[in-house]
């Protein structure tokens, strides 16, 4: 079971790194920077973005909207009301941000290793 979880996590990291590399190469092409610097910037942006998304997902309140209501905009809902989150939703609210932070920090570290302007 642990091996399967590690394999899935590795696949997520590889997919995120590939997306960050594509973003970085596109930015390098648009800005005229070197490919190495563009890759570093892509890893930085993706890592920080995943950490910010983790923060937003992790700060959700323990109440959810009932399924029969709808969002009208500017904080107005039609009917429905609210309910408390189920055990599965609470577990997801803890686990998903943890995965995003882990991958985000890994991408930032990879960006620091790849960056041609690092001080050390």
How confident is the model over 57-96, as pLDDT tens digits?
Answer: 888 888 877 765 555 556 555 556 777 888 988 888 899 9
H or E element in which residue 90 lies: helix 87-114
Residue 86 confidence (pLDDT): 86
Give the integer Cα–Cα distance in Å for 101 and 52: 8
Residue 22 confidence (pLDDT): 97
Query: Considering the entire predicted model, what is its pTM?
Result: 0.80
């Amino acid at each position: 079971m642990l091996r399967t979880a590690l394999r899935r996590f590795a696949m997520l990291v590889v997919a995120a790194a590939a997306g960050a590399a594509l973003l970085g190469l596109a930015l390098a092409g648009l800005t005229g920077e070197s490919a190495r610097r563009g890759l570093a910037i892509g890893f930085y942006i993706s890592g920080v973005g995943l950490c910010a998304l983790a923060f937003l997902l992790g700060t959700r309140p323990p109440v959810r909207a009932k399924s029969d209501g709808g969002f009208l905009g500017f904080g107005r809902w039609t009917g429905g009301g609210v309910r408390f989150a189920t055990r599965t939703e609470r577990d997801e609210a803890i686990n998903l941000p943890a995965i995003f932070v882990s991958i985000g920090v890994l991408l930032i570290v990879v960006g620091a290793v790849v960056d041609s302007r690092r001080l050390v």
